[in-house]
Structure 1
Amino acid sequence: MKILVVRFKQIGDAILSSVICNTLKRTFPDVEVDYVVYEHISPLFENHKYIDNVISITKEEQKNPFKYIGKVWKVTRKKYDIVIDIMSTPKSEVFTLFSLGSRYRIGRRKPKRGYTYNYKIEEPRDAKDKVDKFLKMLKPLEQEYKVIYDNNYVITLTSEEKSQMRKRMLDAGVNFSRPVYICAANSRRESKIYNTEKMKKIVERVRDELKGQVIFFYSPDEKDFIMKFYEKFEDKKDLFVNINTKSIRELAMVISNCDFFFGNEGGPRHLAQSLDIPSFAIFSPSASKKEWLSNANERHQGVEPGDVGNCEGLDYNGQYNLIDPDYVFDKIEEMSKKFIVK
């Protein structure tokens, strides 16, 4: 049996929806599972124990409809038995259009689209989080198979990759006999960025009171933001901006060598959880903790404005300002004492 899972989105969405691949592989141990993602995200899923082939959609293919259609045609010549279109957009539906012979063509029920799906999934109202929502797309398979659900999203790194990055971090001055924190000071969406003065206060307390070393990571587009944030610190001791990552997989390698992740909610935070590095996330008013802190537990926690105050009558910034940096630090300190052993 051959199964194709289509997911066009950014880091967090691709990681969370990969639980579909986990579940399919556990349900059908001999199945071949292929996962379609954007090119810049695809390195994350190399050597993934539940994914056989990662299919990349390049930027050129995204922009050029003829090249995109040609790519989809080529991919679907594999004649998949099951095609699951998580995105369910006119663009992603081309995969099921070219797979009309597939026994299961599953997508979301949306107005005026999805004509090539033979199973349309209603938007679930009872999903406990994003992961649960994605897994409900496998419901049609239950009519024929006993589906073994797996809601744990994971990223697999080799011991060699971890060791290579650890050496680079040592060369950059990181002391692994002391706690190593990694901070998401920025976000791809400007509206999700927590006040930088407040974030600065959290970082300083982590360094000074928890004796932590703090790594700031960034993509090429985020470098200017992070460097300006770094310059806010009069005392730059134990703060690192010199550990460059060339890909999202290298960022995963850095995170895997850290003791704790904190900062703005987003894809890198999901990456930390997929590597089971303890994490604490700050959620903006536009991000639902219930949905995006999937599989929340003692090791992976977060705060949103409604957790610390009454949001009624407050504008966006007013709601965001309810999150006090001392509250965030206290949570990080509590978790650090429990999960960091040096």
Structure 2
Amino acid sequence: MKKILVIQQKMIGDVLVSTILCETLCKAYPDAQVDYLIYENTYQVFAENKKNYNVIFFKNEYRNSKLSLIKFALTLKNENYDVIIDAYSKLESWVIVGLSNAKTKISFRKNISNFLYTHLIDRHQIPTTNLGLVIEHRLKLLDPLHINKDLYVTNAQIFVTEAENLNAQKLLQANGVNLDKPIVMLNILGSSASKTYPFKNMAKIIDKVAQNNVQILLNYIPNQQKQATEIYNLCTQATQQKIYFNVLGNNLRGLLALINQCGAVIGNDGGTMNMAKALNKPTFIIFSPWIEKKAWNTYEDGMKHVSVHLNDFKPNLFKNKNLKSLKKENNLLYNQFEPAFFNDLLTHFININLVNEQ
């Protein structure tokens, strides 16, 4: 086997997860050329990783112009890939796969695009390990290649440079953060309103964390300052004194370096949590009612990685409801998800990962 293409256009969490495919393929076929096709804006999350594979950018112009997409797909056709693994399987990748002359084309089974592929993978619904369905499904894409499972890479990783760590430490010290005391980051806002724990409840979570001897960073981007301030104002004055509100990474690499200084990350599900795990940081995740926890609760062990979902505590609220109805009722359901439901779990997590580490 000489050339392999892995396609994973999507957001940071997905791109990070699918790096395990590239890493595994490089181990299994050390003499092969492995190329990884991703959206350009997601690259920085693993830009400093030592990679034995190449990265190809799917540019915005390919998304905005069908002609540009076809021209790009034809350039990939000329690469004469032996294998294409399409972990994305949407229109953009269908064009690439359809025009390719690769002998082996692997993706997940979908009614619309099945004819494009030589091997179709069914997604199972019950996890068989604590890797989470999103990782188990990715690894199943390797089944047609019959790779020795001892070679499988199951943990995505992010590397932060020494210079980036030093810059983060200088930023923290300049804002009065003591590097010798535990620092915890609260991921207070999700990627959308539907993935964001209600503000009043998030404030209670921050208050709970602040009862310990910790220093608190809030993760938000500048255009979310209004929402972040609203959550901050809902916290007690004692909690506010432990929050370093203006300490932010000025870009994605800066955020990664700040996470790397933290003892744990707590809060909403999203890319930040996937990055924290790839940096080997403990995580406590609150999932939105319409998100399927079993897909993204990767590496859950009840100690270093813990997650909670309303369905864990009120399963009757989810009986006979499909994704469409859950999305419609999301706000109503989320407001019923009281912090008191998982207070003991959060206390246990804090005691293990923050208090006992002091």
TM norm structure 1? 0.89
Moved more, 287-296 or 270-279: 287-296
Q: Which residue among 296, 299, 310 is the counterpart of 1:295?
A: 299
The answer to whether 1:77 aligns with 2:78 is yes
Inter-partner Cα distance in structure 2 for 1:285 and 1:279: 19
- Cα distance in structure 1, aligned partners of 2:116 and 2:90: 12
In structure 2, how many angstroms separate the alpha carbons of the residues matched to 1:60 and 1:222?
28
- Of 130, 134, 138 in structure 2, the residue corresponding to residue 130 of structure 1 is 134
- TM-superposed CA distance for 1:220, in Å, is 4.4
Provide the C-alpha distance between the structure 2 equivalents of 1:243 and 1:77, rounded to a whole number of angstroms: 47
C-alpha displacement at 1:215, in angstroms?
Answer: 0.9
Residue of structure 1 in register with 2:93 after alignment = 92
Greater mean deviation of Cα atoms: 77-86 or 58-67 = 58-67
Alpha-carbon offset, residue 127 of structure 1: 4.6
Matched, 1:263 2:267: yes
Tell whether the 8 Å contact from 2:202 to 2:231 is kept in structure 1 after alignment: no
The CA deviation string for residues 279-338 of structure 1, in whole angstroms up to 9 with x for no partner, is: 100111111221110221221111111222343379544543443324445433322322
CA distances 1:218-274 after superposition (whole Å, capped 9, x unpaired):
234433322332343463312123233343332222111111100011111111111
Change in Cα spacing, 1:252 to 1:72, as seen in structure 2 (3 Å) is farther
Counterpart residue number, 1:107: 107
Tell me the amino acid that sits aligned with residue 210 of structure 1: N
Tell me the residue number matched to 2:35. Answer: 34
Q: Which moved more, 1:323-332 or 1:56-65?
A: 323-332
Partner of 2:322: none
Deviates more, 1:237-246 or 1:290-299: 237-246
Corresponding residue of 2:325: none
Q: In 2, are the aligned partners of 1:308 and 1:322 still within 8 Å (CA)?
A: no
Aligned length, in residue pairs: 338
Give CA deviations for 1:6-65 in whole Å, capped at 9, x if unaligned.
112112222223221222122223333222221221111213345522222233332222
Instruction: Give yes or no for contact 2:249–2:255 (8 Å, CA) kept in 1.
Output: yes
- Establish whether residue 307 from structure 1 lines up as the match of residue 312 from structure 2: yes
> Distance between the aligned counterparts of 2:343 and 2:124, measured in 1?
35
Q: Is the CA contact (8 Å cut-off) linking 1:37 and 1:55 kept in structure 2?
A: yes
How far is 1:79 from its partner?
Answer: 2.8
Secondary structure in structure 1 of the residue aligned to 2:299: coil
Residue 170 of structure 2: aligned partner? 167
Under a length normalisation based on structure 2, what TM-score does the superposition of the two structures give?
Answer: 0.85
2:53 matched residue in structure 1: 52
1:149 Cα offset (Å):
2.0
Please identify, of 263-272 and 168-177, the stretch whose mean Cα deviation from structure 2 is larger. Answer: 168-177
Match of 1:219 in 2: 221
Q: Work out whether residues 266 and 285 of structure 2, in 8 Å CA contact, stay in contact via their aligned partners in 1.
A: yes
Percent identity among equivalent residues?
Answer: 28
By how many angstroms is 1:125 displaced? 4.3
The separation in 2 between residues aligned to 1:137 and 1:64, in whole angstroms, is: 29
> In the superposition, relative to structure 1, how do residues 323 and 161 fare at CA in structure 2: closer, same or farther (>3 Å)?
same
Unaligned stretches of 5+ in structure 2? 320-328
Change (3 A) 1:212 1:114: same
Deviations 1:72-129 (A, max 9, x none): 33344333222111111221122223321x2322122222324332222233345541
Q: Which amino acid aligns with 2:242?
A: D
Counterpart Cα distance in 1 of 2:141 and 2:78? 24
> Any unmatched runs of 5+ in structure 1?
none
**Runs (4+) off by over 6 Å:** none
Please give the secondary structure, in 2, of the residue aligned with 1:263: strand
| Separation in 1, partners of 2:244, 2:107 | 44
Equivalent residues of 2:84, 2:97 under 8 A apart: yes
